[in-house]
Amino acid sequence: MNAKRTLALAAIIAISPLNSALTDEAVPMVSLQRLSLETVLSIAKASIEECRTKGYQISVTVVDRDGTVQVTLRDTIAAPITTDISRQKAFTAANFNTPTSQLKDLVDTPIGRIDGFIMHQGGLPIQVGGALIGAVGVSGGPSELDEACAQAGIDKVIDDLEMAL
């Protein structure tokens, strides 16, 4: 009876999908694409310029895929609070990998109450080849303008990013 059980167990393990995951050689490291300082500065400056043409002074933050700040710029007379809000919008867009404008239904949920998330327009993920590589957040204008300015920043560099793949 023990031999039959052992044989049955061995047969189950041999055909199990888990077995292939255990026997395949694990990759010891993963490569990630990161935005250069020059690229994040281009995104930030283009976002500020777009909002200036509309008559608003804003702050803009660009984060990496984990939500870690790479650059924050505040225009000359933008309110100081806009730097924190732009960072939180970028952080939220990176963590959800979606525009913050699409998260408004989560505002009054437990997730929406977590410190550091802002679920209002103005945060956009930066995606290249279907992969999240960062996010940009803008604060200081009306919400729909914040998002348009964030998009202008991404548009400034997206062709170069796609060509770099």
Q: Does the structure show a pLDDT above 90 at 163?
A: yes
pLDDT for residue 53: 98
Instruction: Report pLDDT digits (tens) over 107-150.
Output: 999 999 999 999 999 999 999 999 999 999 999 999 999 999 99
CB 138, CB 92: distance < 8 Å: no
Domains parsed from the chain with CATH numbers: 37-163 (3.30.450.150)
Q: Does the structure show a pLDDT above 60 at 20?
A: no
The upper half-sphere exposure of residue 8, i.e. CA atoms within 13 Å in the direction of its Cβ, equals 5
Instruction: Report pLDDT digits (tens) over 43-85.
Output: 999 999 999 999 999 999 999 999 999 999 999 999 999 999 9
Give, for 46, the enclosing helix (H) or strand (E).
helix 37-53
CA–CA separation, 61 vs 81, rounded Å? 13
Confidence tier at 33 by pLDDT (50, 70, 90)? confident
